[in-house]
Amino acid sequence: MFQIHEIYRPTRPLKEITGPVRIIDLINFETVVLIDMDTEHAKIPFKFDYEEWVYLLNQGALEKAIDPFLRLTFWPTSLPAGAIKRLQNAIEATSIISQKPGLLHTPLALASEIRAIAQSMNLSQRTVKRWVLNWLQAGRNPAVVVREFIQTSAENDEQRKQVKGSKRGARRTKPETASNAPTHEVRDKCEKAYASFVKSQRRTWSEAYYEMLITLCGIPDAELKGSEYGLLMDPLLIKKYRPPTWDQCRYIFRKLKSAEIPHDSENPRGKRGKATDNIPGPGFYEIDATYFQIQLVSRVTKSLLVGRPTVYLIVDIFDGVIVGYAVTLENPSWAVAALALYNCFSDKSATFSRLGLPFTSKDWPCKHLPTVLRADRAELVSNMGQDFPTSGIRVEVTPSMTPIAKGTVEGKHSEMKKERPGRFNLPGRFNKARERRQSDGKKAAALDVLEFERILVEIIMDINGEPIESRRIPPDALKHGAKVASRIGFHEWALENRAGFTRTMGDNFVFEYLMTKGTGKVTPRGIRTHNEIFNCDRLRELGYLLAAAGTEFEIDISFTPHYAGEVFFFDKKRDTWISAANIDPEINRYNMSFAEAKEYRAMQNLMADQASLNNHSRRRQRLPVVRKAIRDAVTEKAMLGIKTSTSNANIKKNRRQEQADQRSQSLNGALPKAPTIDAGLKENASTRPPTTGTEQSDSTNPPNPSSVKRPETSSIALWGKVNAVNKN
């Protein structure tokens, strides 16, 4: 915000700061030590409250001013003998003050020290005090005591300014259209126009010039409007009012602009250099995502296209090593970035084993947490990634639309995508900006995402094996041979010899900072979150399910948004995170994400609502039929005039008769009749007279109408030998 030795001036009247002041010291971010820049009446330094100083800067009450001693040299030459002696005495006196910076904080101590210096050097106390105060005003430049013997370039400029005489410079093609007024005559008008119209109103130089001609040159409006040719072409008006020419005005504007110091209103310019400059060691990472220009196929069959993959890379700025990656078919998000970060922070042997590659963790020894992680605004500013800085890793978010702010990882993306005809001929590749009739890679696609990941790791290992710039190899690394000249070798060497900016990942780091955090409610069925239920044996062992039978309570969880099959909760007794699985097996069978599970539940509810609507519509159609059948039955009984007997004995007798009437072969006629029958039945069937079409088979035994009564003897004969009475 501000620096020592800078000069500030108030933009509005202030009680304690009446003019330009220079900052000479800062005490524990509590007090600012200032000195007044009035060289005619030098005053001792005074203290100012730090918070009030910062408040005035933020409110615009103070602005940075031009240093009047900016061009004063520290080592003047060609001085007279007396000036040289004075300069030596001033250097001796101010060096004593420099060795005791605490003197500037206390006026009494400073005055006492000045008195002692004057006595030891046999000089006047006022002279030494004037030297010390001028030295502080000049930004600790002792040459200020002999500045009257030094001719600065600023003074040369003042001498070169025209103060008398006629107009200088080249003559116009038509001299009658130009005023003869010299520069010293019109300088005040041009300076006023620059301050009023250019600085205050932010007008262009040409507009400021025209406004100056109209408002500052004293030309009445009547003469301007009454002129036949106009001001710039009327020799009479030009000769009478002598306005400045455009060339004079532009020259003065240029001088005023060059004398200014750029303020915060202008865009700051970054210093030239490389990304590796001022990076002390490994531990400063950059992360970014890209779409790899290649078409992939399904792992089920090569005939199905799945599109282009998303690739995340994490690069160490110090040596350019790719320290982590992630490949997925998901869109760029914090969940995918967390996969890349976990790959970056963990040992790579598990990755090599999963992909079946013949590498070990020694070939890629990158498993450390960085000090700084630089990323764009996509992931780390999101709701899911905003808790990541609490892990202790300083996150630097680059401005929007500025890929040069993280040029190291951008360069690695370009290097990874670069075609290598002799080494990696990937089928399905296509150009990002395809020209007419160029292939889009869909016909030649042959790699699935797992095969592409294997090749991508091979490319990463190849890039990490490239040599670094030879000038970057330090002397203490030469004894390790050519291995340290590669990126990965230099990284491995720097982890031991330029250490202090990395650390290892803890057991719970991935659950606390990489996975998405949330809250769930413990219910007797398990943890409920996102309209899903998750359960495990550990919940029952801890007694959470039993405790939730009375009142449900909240619990902190971590999960991956791309997989709704499990969540994790923290077990305080074991000091670890436990997995709880989704109780719905369909979620695990189809590996749904939480977004897909939400859509799945919504579709289930919609289908259930539609089924209820369909059933209601069907019920409305059948309800009149059912009601009519009921009315017919009631009407038929009323017409017959029958009264039902309420005797329990009659009810049992009637029930047995009805049961016998409904019994028949083949599950009461539900099954089709068998095509073959018994031999004995065939003989009986041959002796039996043929039946007519009007007769009805007893095998089906349809129920008799209510008006037909069967003889009671058949019922007695059938049930006479059966004791159906419960003696108990």
Does the global pTM surpass 0.85? no
What is the model's pLDDT at position 717? 47
Band (580; pLDDT cuts 50, 70, 90): very high
Both 544 and 472 in one domain: the answer is no
CA distance 141 to 94: 9
Q: List alpha helices for 99-220, DSSP H.
A: 107-121, 125-137, 153-160, 183-193, 205-215
Both 459 and 533 in one domain: the answer is no
pLDDT, tens digit, for every residue of 326-380?
999 999 999 999 999 999 999 999 999 999 999 999 999 999 999 999 998 877 7
Does some domain include residue 47?
yes
DSSP-derived letter for residue 510 is I
- Name the 3-class secondary structure at 641: coil
pLDDT, tens digit, for every residue of 246-301?
888 899 999 888 887 554 455 656 567 788 888 999 999 999 999 999 999 999 99
The answer to whether residues 244 and 179 touch, using CB atoms and an 8 Å cutoff, is: yes
Does some domain include residue 708?
no
Both 241 and 344 in one domain: the answer is no
**pLDDT of 245 above 60:** yes
Higher pLDDT, 563 or 147: 563
Domain count, the chain: 5
Does some domain include residue 95?
yes
Both 202 and 334 in one domain: the answer is no
Looking at the chain, the whole-number percentage of residues with pLDDT higher than 90 is 43
Both 139 and 220 in one domain: the answer is no
Band (693; pLDDT cuts 50, 70, 90): very low
Both 175 and 200 in one domain: the answer is yes
What is the model's pLDDT at position 104? 84
Nearest to 510 by CA among 343, 333, 323, 315: 343
Band (322; pLDDT cuts 50, 70, 90): very high
**pLDDT of 661 above 50:** yes
Band (383; pLDDT cuts 50, 70, 90): confident
Residue 659: which residues within 8 A CB-CB, separation 6 or more?
Answer: none
Domain stop point among 90, 123, 158: 158
Looking at the chain, the whole-number percentage of residues with pLDDT higher than 70 is 86
For the ranges 126-135, 313-322, 467-476, 699-708, the lowest mean pLDDT is seen at: 699-708
Both 525 and 445 in one domain: the answer is no
Nearest to 557 by CA among 532, 537, 591, 540: 532
Does some domain include residue 53?
yes
- CA torsion 718-720-726-728 (nearest 10°) is -160
Indicate the burial class of 290 (C-beta count within 10 angstroms; 0-12, 13-18, 19 or more).
buried
Does some domain include residue 698?
no
Domain stop point among 19, 36, 64: 64
Band (103; pLDDT cuts 50, 70, 90): confident
For the ranges 140-149, 321-330, 582-591, 627-636, the lowest mean pLDDT is seen at: 140-149
Tokens of 435: 């020209």
- 575-586 average pLDDT score: 95
What is the model's pLDDT at position 714? 44
CATH of the domain at 457: 3.30.420.10
Both 111 and 209 in one domain: the answer is no
What is the model's pLDDT at position 705? 47
Domain stop point among 596, 628, 656: 596
Both 296 and 386 in one domain: the answer is yes
The answer to whether residues 373 and 317 touch, using CB atoms and an 8 Å cutoff, is: no
- 541-557 average pLDDT score: 93
Q: Hunting for tokens 């900072």 — which residue is that? A: 513
- 176-200 average pLDDT score: 85
CA distance 259 to 265: 16
For the ranges 18-32, 114-128, 223-237, 393-407, the lowest mean pLDDT is seen at: 223-237
Both 252 and 288 in one domain: the answer is no
Nearest to 249 by CA among 297, 193, 294: 193
Does some domain include residue 412?
yes
Tokens of 305: 């296209």
The answer to whether residues 327 and 456 touch, using CB atoms and an 8 Å cutoff, is: yes
Does some domain include residue 584?
yes
Does some domain include residue 14?
yes
For β-strands 310-316 and 322-328, DSSP reports them as antiparallel
Both 477 and 344 in one domain: the answer is yes
The secondary element (H helix, E strand) that includes residue 279 is none
Domain that holds residue 564: 515-596
- 509-519 average pLDDT score: 93
pLDDT, tens digit, for every residue of 630-658?
999 999 989 988 888 788 888 898 899 88
Distance between start and end Cα atoms, the chain: 102
What is the model's pLDDT at position 29? 80
What is the model's pLDDT at position 690? 52
Both 104 and 203 in one domain: the answer is no
CA distance 513 to 390: 8
Band (173; pLDDT cuts 50, 70, 90): low
Band (151; pLDDT cuts 50, 70, 90): low
